[in-house]
């Protein structure tokens, strides 16, 4: 029996934009594994109640159910030891957890302040009210107010990316000459934006732009050819 991956979808079933689900999509591709995609909306809590919690991604692999992208990555690494490693050893797992936290705790809040209103617009109608209410409660202001100073947050994001930019001077990926899970943790943030917003987060002369381009092309263009929102600028 094949794997099933519950993923957050927008208006269309193939409009997949969750940063954490993209981490898992890339991890599965890295390992040469496939999972049937099961589109899920924010308001369909019942559909994943079997997982014991209310968030996606949820991976079902035979009798195993695993939620949370980080735990899914650990699960895949242990369960499929004969496929390419996502980490390259225990010491690297620990440091990849830091990179994942950097993506989630530093980059995600900055990108949210650029794209949050756009996410609302790409959601299925049934999800829009839930999204607006829950996010406005979390941020303490309207979606429109969250993204009001978009240019300042874009500048803050580009500044926050300086450590990634620095290490990319000398190599193709954060993880070294080849990509690994730490790259996918950060790349997921960019797929979140690409698939939900026309905002271009990066300038074309940024090493991070070229790193993102390489990951868009990875695994036969898995990410590049996924449905996305056309960019305001010249992004392909």
Which residues would be at the binding site for a second copy (CB under 8 A)? 85, 87-92, 94-99, 101-102, 104-106, 160, 162-164, 166-167, 171, 174-176, 180, 182
CA atoms of 92 and 74, how far apart (whole Å): 12
CA atoms of 114 and 200, how far apart (whole Å): 10
Q: Please, what's the largest Cα pairwise distance for the chain?
A: 49
Q: Output 98 or 225, the one with its CB closest to a second copy.
A: 98
Q: How far is the CB of 99 from a second copy (least distance, A)?
A: 6
Q: Output 138 or 171, the one with its CB closest to a second copy.
A: 171
Q: Output 33 or 156, the one with its CB closest to a second copy.
A: 156
CA 210 to mean position of chain CA atoms: 18
Cross-strand bridge partners of residue 59 = 5, 66
Radius of gyration of the chain (CA): 17
Q: How far is the CB of 208 from a second copy (least distance, A)?
A: 12
Q: How far is the CB of 87 from a second copy (least distance, A)?
A: 6
18's CB contacts (< 8 A; 6+ apart) are 7, 8, 56, 57, 192
Q: Output 157 or 195, the one with its CB closest to a second copy.
A: 157
């Amino acid at each position: 029996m094949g794997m099933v991956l519950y993923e957050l979808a927008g208006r269309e079933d193939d409009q997949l934009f969750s940063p954490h689900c993209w981490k898992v999509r890339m991890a599965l591709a890295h390992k040469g594994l496939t999972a049937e995609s099961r589109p899920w909306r924010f308001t369909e809590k019942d559909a994943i109640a079997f997982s014991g919690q209310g968030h996606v991604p949820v991976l079902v692999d035979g009798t195993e159910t695993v939620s949370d992208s980080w735990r899914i990555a650990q699960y895949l690494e242990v369960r499929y030891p004969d496929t390419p490693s996502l980490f390259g050893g225990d010491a690297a797992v620990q440091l990849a957890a830091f990179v994942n936290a950097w993506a989630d705790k530093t980059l995600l809040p900055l990108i949210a302040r650029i794209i949050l209103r756009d996410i609302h617009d790409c959601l299925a109608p049934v999800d829009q009210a839930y999204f607006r209410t829950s996010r406005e409660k979390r941020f303490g202001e309207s979606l429109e107010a969250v993204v009001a100073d978009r240019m300042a947050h874009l500048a803050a994001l580009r500044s926050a990316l300086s450590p990634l930019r620095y290490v990319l001077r000398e190599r193709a990926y954060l993880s070294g000459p080849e990509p690994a899970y730490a790259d996918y943790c950060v790349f997921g943030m960019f797929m979140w934006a690409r698939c939900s917003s026309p905002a271009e987060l990066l300038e074309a002369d940024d090493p991070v732009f070229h790193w993102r381009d390489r990951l868009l092309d990875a695994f036969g263009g898995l990410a590049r050819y996924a449905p996305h929102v056309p960019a305001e600028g010249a992004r392909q």
